[in-house]
Amino acid sequence: MPASKKRPLLIAAMLAALVIIIAVIALPSLQMNAPMPEESAGVEPAPMPPNAVPLEPAPEPVIIVGEEPMIMPSGEDFVVQRLFYGTNRVPQAPDEDGPTYGAEGHQSLTLGTAEITIPKNAHEFGNIERPRRITIFTITLFEEKEDAAKHMTLLAREELSLEEFQTRAAQIARDSETYEGAALVFIHGFNTSFDQAMFRGAQIAYDMRFDGPAFVYSWPSQGRLLSYVNDTEAAKSAVKPMDEFMEAVITTPGVERVHVIAHSMGNAALAELLTRSGTRLGARGKAIDQLVLAAPDLDARYFRTVFEHFTDAANNVTLYACGSDRALLASSKIRDDFPRLGDVPNGVPVIVPGIDTIDVTAVGTEIFSLNHNAFAQSRGVLTDLSQLLLTRMHPPEKRTPVLIKEDGPYWKMPK
């Protein structure tokens, strides 16, 4: 065979050998648990909230609606975090875990509940433990088997009527002790699938030891990095179903206070809801107790013209700004470097009357995002957030003394 024909075959053989070597080397390491960080050594975990229930992977969960509590199986390796969801994603064919939802949106609201397992011993604060995999281009060379003792898993999804939705959430509200009378709503950001939103919502509620009913609203993000423009439009178009969802949460029996956390582009959906005339939420006045804007992907100039819609809808508004948020940096570049509300342009965050602004650049806000890789550094954000929802105390240094008061005024979280 001529040398010119042998060369492509030789190159292909070498590439195939390289792929095999990478897979062989990586396979053992991927099956091992990641080591716990030094910060976690010797620290006793917080008491398990009533909303996180131990269970075994054995029988299917049994839900009893009414005066009796919801019954779940018990076990040693993992617990379940219950979430109540609302979405205007178009339903897809169900899988073994229940109904599924795609990236397309419509104007109908679907309500339901999701059960997320969280590994007791393998969970690291602020992290979402999912099976690891090796992918080269579009070829998956290795994918770790899902294991509830090591990973967060989706145990079940179930669609509910409004009555069932409120009845089950009301049961948890009645049983809550630490966050008595409180409900928590999480609105996810850019590049997030439905299931990813459930994992993040479960992680936040679990790490905060939130024992009241935890809710997630999932607008139809494409779940792709290259779909920024589409996601922006999808977030803004969710006003009608999102308004219905918030009404369902607010009117749930036993819920006396509703706290809302909106992350990144989720703030675009929230802004559209709060500024749109004729919504039920807008007619309720201060229907939200603590409103948290986590690295909001909003034009800072636009926000200055509409911020009163936020302060009119909530008893208090807290803004976590982050100068190292990668999504915000990319967003500002797309928009010719116009500053985003959640950014820290020139070292100083955006200051707006009536809103507590906290610069968390030193620790980051990746605890709310998908590509989280600095869980230990984000402990300060969730600690302050927990204190905010528990004590409802302002200004921020009263509840979290480590916060540094700066001129402006705003506060800075030290590393």
Lowest mean pLDDT among 49-58, 64-73, 118-127, 133-142: 64-73
Are 62 and 41 within 8 A, CB to CB? Answer: no
pTM listed for this prediction? 0.80
Q: Is the dihedral of CA 246, 250, 254, 259 positive or negative?
A: positive
Residues 178-211: tens digit of each pLDDT: 999 999 999 999 889 999 999 999 999 999 999 9
| Block residue for tokens 């969802």 | 245
Q: What is the mean pLDDT of the chain?
A: 81
Is residue 252 left, alpha or beta, with left meaning phi > 0 and alpha meaning psi from -120 to 50? beta
Q: How confident is the model at residue 374 (pLDDT cuts 50, 70, 90)?
A: very low
Pairing of strands 133-136, 139-143: antiparallel
pLDDT in tens, 242-275: 999 999 999 999 999 999 999 989 999 999 999 9
Q: How many CB atoms lie within 10 A of CB 386?
A: 19
Q: How many CB atoms lie within 10 A of CB 60?
A: 8
What is the 3 state secondary structure string of 51-108?
Answer: CEEEECCCCCCECCCCCCCCECCCCCCEEEEEEEEEEEEEEEEEECCEEEEEEEEEEE
pLDDT the model gives residue 9 = 52
**How many residues are given for the chain?**
415
Q: What is the DSSP string of 311-363?
A: HHHEEEEEEEE-TT-HHHHHHHHHTTTPPBTTS-GGG-----TTEEEEE-TTT
Q: What is the pLDDT of residues 294-303, one digit of tens each?
A: 989 999 999 9
Cα 124 from Cα 139, distance rounded (Å): 29
pLDDT of residue 26: 41
Query: How does DSSP assign 178-201, residue by residue?
Result: TTTTEEEEEE--SS--HHHHHHHH
Distance CA 63, CA 270 (A): 32
At residue 42, the pLDDT reads 34
Rounded to an integer, the average pLDDT of 99-105 is 96
Nearest Cα neighbor of 388 from 398, 402, 373 is: 398
More confident residue, 54 or 16: 16
Helix (H) or strand (E) holding 234: helix 228-236
